[in-house]
Structure 1
Amino acid sequence: METSLALVGLQLQPSYLPCPSRRASTLLPANFFTDRRHLPLSYLKLQNQRSLISSRPQVACTICRGTAVSNSETFELDDIDWDDLGFGLVPTDYMYVAKCSKDGNFSKGDLQCFGNIEMNPSSGVLNYGQGLFEGLKAYRKLDGSILLFRPDENALRMRMGAERMCMPAPTTEQFVEATKMTVLANKRWVPPPGKGSLYIRPLLMGSGAVLGLAPAPEYTFLIYVSPVGNYFKEGLAPINLVVENEFHRATPGGTGGVKTIGNYASVLKAQSLAKAKGFSDVLYLDSVHKKYLEEVSSCNVFVVKRTTISTPAIKGTILPGITRKSIIDVAHSLGFQVEERLVSVEELLDADEVFCTGTAVVVSPVGSITYLGERVSYGKTGVGAVSQQLYSSLTSLQMGLSEDKMGWTVELM
């Protein structure tokens, strides 16, 4: 399905596909997940078939021209190849949309069929980049239930970013409830355990028309989802980074510390050049001294030396990653000393291990860093011991394979 914004004309054409899956499906009993006697054998069979079972929610469709199925008595089996998921958009069934006018209060919002949206050519987000986005994930547990990971933290970060961008934001409660609603409406797209996750993308954008430079008069809060696999094609395998000297991701006093849409377009040039040379991504230095680590294009970075883990301090130019925050807490619980401070590029080159963190990658070990033409490699056995330990600890918690002593997960279904 074409999901890009067509900026020709005044209207972006919606999808005319019906909300029910565009794929072939098989109906199964509604008690398949709730009757635990059926689960183990049937679930193993479903995994072998690379399939997923989920119920169809009862939703009033307001975008698509087809008739939405609202039969909650059946489940549908999707034929997606769960073993072949990359990190790309897979159009799902529903998205959540809420509006906010000048009073600053968002409407209750509703679920609509996933598809293109209508937007005025003079909207604030298209003309002045007045927009934020978030990213979080939902995971399928072995018993068929679904876990969200720290959605309240994403809500708080969006509110912080909205204040910087002169935008109203949904309350934490509305954000979390809207996230739950969207995931449940698309729950048949949550991959089976170990096959990936459901990536959740909340957007906050100035959708109202504004010609002169000013905050938009109307805002849209939208959430869509897509099943995803690994962000880097290497998966949990070492990636190769190059330190960037010419381009900078953020500057003091700018918006590098909030998840505004404009932060990411600026990294595309350096990232494209790096990938053309065979690197996985780019590691940026600070724009003032050009010697202190900041972050990778969309990930935070950590440096390991013996039992100490160091990461650049949050000082306005670095995004306060939720996975970053979680990894710091997990590392403390495992007995590591964690330092948040200025980390020089020289320390990076002398490290025992280096790894990145982010919602999309979770933990991604770094196999090599190239700086001023000099390549430094880390370890000879692939994934470093610290990276592996932190990855295993965090993902086990996210997937419900270990007890959540942190109180970070929210269970659905």
Structure 2
Amino acid sequence: MIRRSFCLGNLIQSLRVASPLSKLGAYCGLTSQAASSLQQVCEPSAHSNAGYEEYADVDWDNLGFGLMPTDYMYITKGTKDGLFEEGQLSRYGNIELSPSAGVLNYGQGLFEGTKAIRKEDGRLLLFRPDQNAIRMKIGAERMCMSSPSVDQFVDAVKQTALANNRWVPPPGKGSLYLRPLLMGSGPILGLAPAPEYTFLVYASPVGNYFKEGVAPLNLYVEDEFHRTSRGGAGGVKTITNYAPVLKALGRAKSRGFSDVLYLDSVNKKYIEEVSSCNIFIVKDDTISTPATNGTILEGVTRKSIIEIARALGYQVEERSIPVEELIDANEVFGTGTAVCVAQVGSITHQGKRVEYKTGDRSVCRELFSTLVGIQRGLIEDKMGWTVEID
């Protein structure tokens, strides 16, 4: 199969791409002059703070993925009839909940994750926030919750990002991670939907999700514990999906692994998800990822990577993937809002370790560069994915 090369240069300063930027394909729609500008942007620059000067006092070069409280959060309340008040910005801080709140007693809660990224001119971009809003509405229906409209969700994210503008890292230094939360805040004793719901959005500046940074991940295939089961709520972003993985995740990390790759709970032979992200495997020019059949979260980054890969000329398959296929894969990578597109260097299953291709010439790096280029406004967004905050 003939493909064009769309490598856009490593958007992380320590890496370089071998292929010429002047040979970008039609998907990107960039001229040689624009490509040259892009290369300059990717190099360390004394003007990395261009367009915005009032930054918070943060060591932007050493951001991890830990909570760094910012100035403001957005909050509103709604009823079980689905009517939400006009939201308000308030100072970031603790909230008050009844001891019998539905979220505390029965785990009636959902969360989302999206990012605000600063362009070179200082303006802020969001990436497909409407998809997060739609996913929250689908999840709310599954969890018998009221949810804000798509417009209110997106507006809340915009307001929160703007109010915390000084916490958005300089271009290329990270992003402002925005965490929308929907919870059953009303008091309830018997098992039933809560009578009141709270929707809030808070934010924190972040860098790389994994402590390895951009280094390839080492995953462990879990045989004993399962992330979710058929007929459960694994396909929505409910809070109840996450605490159960902590046991397996903690055990894997204590053994030196980055994260856990789970198998399906019925056959115990098909790969599903990593604790923190969706999973993809590459064999020649075919990219495969587990189909979302109710047990796997339909990630926004997952969806975007599938569309980008197809535009780049790859064949993409969504299907059941037996764990044995990991042995013959050329590459493996994970996708998610927090992790972006993360290369996997090795996977260990039943004592056997398999290593994969990584580096600048990998399919993963090509997809990563294209995605992040769009998110940062360095590549023309022909998909209409980015939303500029006025």
TM-score (norm 2): 0.87
Change (3 A) 1:53 1:78: farther
1:90 corresponds to: 68
Pairs within 5 Å for 1:49-88: 76-88=54-66
The equivalent of 1:116 in structure 2 is 94
Distance in 1 (alpha carbons) for counterparts of 2:51 and 2:240: 38
Work out the percentage of aligned pairs sharing the same amino acid: 68
Per-residue Cα deviation, 1:26-67 (whole angstroms, up to 9, x for no partner)? xxxxxxxxxxxxxx9xx96574xxx7986xxxxxxxxxxxxx
Deviation at 1:77, TM superposition (A): 3.6
Equivalence for 2:371: 394
**In 2, Cα distance between equivalents of 1:315 and 1:131:** 22
* 1:234 Cα offset (Å): 1.7
SS at match of 2:368: helix
- Counterpart in the other structure of 1:411: 388
Unaligned runs of 5+ in 1: 1-39, 55-74
**Relative contact order, higher structure (CA 8 A, sep 6+):** 2
Q: Which residue of 2 aligns with 1:63?
A: none
Aligned partner of 2:164 in structure 1 is 186
Whether the 8 Å contact between 2:264 and 2:272 is mirrored in structure 1 is: yes
Instruction: Quote the residue 2:12 is aligned against.
Output: none
CA pair 384-286 structure 1, distance change in 2 beyond 3 A? farther
Contact kept in structure 2, 1:241 and 1:281, CA below 8 Å: yes
Note if contact 1:191-1:197 (Cα within 8 Å) is conserved in structure 2: yes
Q: CA RMSD in A?
A: 1.6
Matched position secondary structure for 1:78: coil
Q: Is the 8 A contact 1:257 1:316 kept in 2?
A: yes
Alpha-carbon distance in structure 2 between the residues aligned to 1:45 and 1:79: 18
* Structure 1 residue 281 corresponds to structure 2 residue 259: yes
Cα distance, 1:76 vs. partner? 3.4
1:176 paired with 2:149, answer no
Distance 1:99 1:351 in 2: 48
Cα shift at 1:383 = 5.7
**Residues 113 and 180 of structure 2 are in contact (CA less than 8 Å); yes or no, is this contact kept in structure 1?**
yes
Cα displacement string for residues 279-335 of structure 1 (whole angstroms, at most 9, x for unaligned residues) = 000000000000001000020000100000000000000000000000000000000
Q: How many residues align?
A: 348
Larger radius of gyration: 1
- How far residue 233 of structure 1 moved from its aligned partner, in angstroms, is 1.6
Deviations 1:243-264 (Å, cap 9, x if unpaired)? 0000000100000000000000
8 Å Cα contact 1:96/1:111 also seen in 2: yes
Matches within 5 A, 1:260-409: 260-379=238-357, 382=359, 385-409=362-386
Encode CA deviations 1:56-95: one digit per residue, 9 max, x unaligned. xxxxxxxxxxxxxxxxxxx734221101100011100000
Task: Tell me the distance in 1 between the aligned counterparts of 2:205 and 2:76.
Answer: 23
Partner of 1:214: 192
1:208 & 1:383 partners in 2: Cα distance? 51
Comparing 382-391 with 315-324, which one deviates more in the overlay? 382-391
In 1, the alpha carbon distance for the partners of 2:72 and 2:384 equals 28
4+ residue runs over 6 A deviation: none
Residue equivalent to 1:64: none
Report how far residue 135 of structure 1 moved: 0.2
Kindly indicate whether the alpha-carbon contact (under 8 Å) linking 1:367 and 1:382 is maintained by their aligned counterparts in 2. no
Structure-1 separation of matches of 2:259 and 2:55 = 37
| Contact 1:191 1:198 (8 Å CA) reproduced | yes
Cα distance in 2 between the residues matched to 1:168 and 1:79: 38
Is the Cα contact below 8 Å between 2:359 and 2:365 reproduced in 1?
Answer: no
| One of 214, 223, 232 as aligned partner of 2:210 | 232
Q: State the match for 1:201 in structure 2.
A: 179
Instruction: Quote the residue 1:11 is aligned against.
Output: none
